[in-house]
Structure 1
């Protein structure tokens, strides 16, 4: 879908001017990636989701521009994101018919929307609300009636753009008795991995019900109280971050002479300007606390990271998304929802050992990695000696160049660095 929101910048600006703590945006329908590119200049991460197309025109083009995107929709199932924690700001511009399935699609928006977050609908089918901003119009449309029931407030409208804000008061749902939508059971919020859509309101009893304005003022950081809400001790979190600061410097010093050896301009301490920087789209396949992503930001590397939390690993995705990073829950026994040849660097720490207890084989994982990795792309795997040796065997079988590196820290951990050749012989 072509980007056509330049004429509606005023309502978009309304949200940005009133809530500058917004860090991540979910954009349903990537278009040409123009909206995501615009938000990058505002230090806001736009993660785009669009349905599969045989031409790959939306998600693939957005990824080619160096912006986060993945294939997906929520017509029949929930998005693979936690309740509340992913969205500070929700964007939609597509042909979704919201009143289908008893409005469950809009309830899915409410599920992933942060308290105080915004839902922005830009569509040629959006009907003007007339005087309904002041709620003086007694003839409400079905959309208006539902947004009232789920405690959304219409904050602005212009032409084909409407902006709602979700309530910050969880008691609002129970106070509206007439035609009230039921609340979901408490256990409903756990690990939303492509579960069926539901016709109830989620997250009202979740510990992470925190309005945007009450969040930490520092971008990509959480204070001690916010970390403890996620069940993470601050000392453990900052120790993990320090480990990744050191690891990234080692990775970069290791890869730099290999990546740039054929280029006339070798990089110094700072990244070279494009086209010399050849790593842009990075996937951390077992992200844990998102430490690698944080280290990339601190080092000002011009990359973005898709943080993937395996479905049976420690459930840290809410923490990663609350930090303002791109992230998704995924089962590595299944294909990742992206097009072939879309990532420059794949990284995984401990994933191989974790996969040994799963129903799929390590070869299945390597074939999937080969599918989503660009020609001349890189893979960095850190794991125990036995897992790394087996991984090197599989890497050789699919004709990757591979070498094992001893970390020389006295542990049984090894590093496997692989490169996918441009042409496999």
Structure 2
């Protein structure tokens, strides 16, 4: 399957994976009987993306994505090239698979490594918040706003988070994930949703240690 659509499936995984992240595939075709050809194609495709094979243990293989752009000659052997600068690698809706490699973020654009440990990261803006106009101030205001609102909801409305009545919550206008951060100590699961018409703030939500969709 990894060579289907000219390798676009694995290229799509590359688009979503952070620089320095790990790709783990467990099961077929990794060292699978009668799938030697597919296993060879998967390894060749991973090599063309400049992934470093860390280990193969039984039917599980682990690769590491490079932290910087490299080995374009290898990519060109497979007919690959860098995507246009007009392409947004974070685009999600109605995005057609393309046979090109998304540009690796510059070091100063990568928030990983500069994020506070849990739970401090919940209340401190990551580097990516500063990419938005007045992002840090907006982050702090949104965080404080939701701390006050959640306190009011619990006190005045008797909201019982984590009970059989309220265990799963979907925030349909999550912005920076302030609501989810405010209820992080409660036994409740929150899915943050950033509307497609709004600025894409999922990166900041992820940096807080929260989950979300766009």
The alignment's TM-score, normalised by the length of structure 1, stands at: 0.44
Query: 1:308 pairs with 167, 178, 193, which one?
Result: 193
* 1:352 equivalent in structure 2: none
- Give the Cα–Cα distance (whole angstroms) in 2 for the partners of residues 308 and 177 of structure 1: 35
For structure 2, list consecutive stretches of 5 or more residues without a partner in the other structure: 33-38
Q: How does 1:17-416 map to 2 (within 5 A)?
A: 97-127=1-31, 141-170=40-69, 172-174=70-72, 176=74, 178-179=76-77, 181-189=80-88, 191-204=91-104, 209-210=109-110, 212=112, 214-219=113-118, 220-221=121-122, 223=125, 225-256=127-158, 276-297=163-184, 300-329=185-214
- Give the Cα–Cα distance (whole angstroms) in 2 for the partners of residues 179 and 195 of structure 1: 25
Q: Is the 1:118–1:166 Cα contact (8 Å) retained in structure 2?
A: yes
The alignment's TM-score, normalised by the length of structure 2, stands at: 0.82
Once the two structures are superposed, what CA deviation does each residue of 1:253-287 show, in whole Å capped at 9, x if it has no partner?
24436x6xxxxxxxxxxx7xx7x453211100011
* 2:36 equivalent in structure 1: none
Query: Does the residue aligned with 2:77 lie in a helix, a strand or coil?
Result: coil
- Give the Cα–Cα distance (whole angstroms) in 1 for the partners of residues 94 and 57 of structure 2: 34
- Give the Cα–Cα distance (whole angstroms) in 2 for the partners of residues 242 and 323 of structure 1: 15
- Give the Cα–Cα distance (whole angstroms) in 1 for the partners of residues 20 and 53 of structure 2: 12
Change (3 A) 1:232 1:117: farther
The offset of 1:127, in angstroms, is: 1.8
Change (3 A) 1:229 1:143: same
* 2:35 equivalent in structure 1: none
Ranked by relative contact order (alpha carbons within 8 Å, sequence separation 6 or more), the top structure is 2
The offset of 1:238, in angstroms, is: 0.9
Q: Is the 1:241–1:291 Cα contact (8 Å) retained in structure 2?
A: yes
- Give the Cα–Cα distance (whole angstroms) in 2 for the partners of residues 115 and 217 of structure 1: 19
- Give the Cα–Cα distance (whole angstroms) in 2 for the partners of residues 224 and 211 of structure 1: 7
Report how many residues are paired.
203
- Give the Cα–Cα distance (whole angstroms) in 2 for the partners of residues 249 and 211 of structure 1: 30
Q: Name which one, 1 or 2, has greater alpha-carbon Rg.
A: 1
- Give the alignment's Cα RMSD to 1 decimal: 2.6
* 1:4 equivalent in structure 2: none
The offset of 1:175, in angstroms, is: 5.7
The offset of 1:123, in angstroms, is: 1.1
Q: Is the 2:21–2:64 Cα contact (8 Å) retained in structure 1?
A: yes
Change (3 A) 1:121 1:241: same
Bigger strand share:
1
The offset of 1:232, in angstroms, is: 4.7
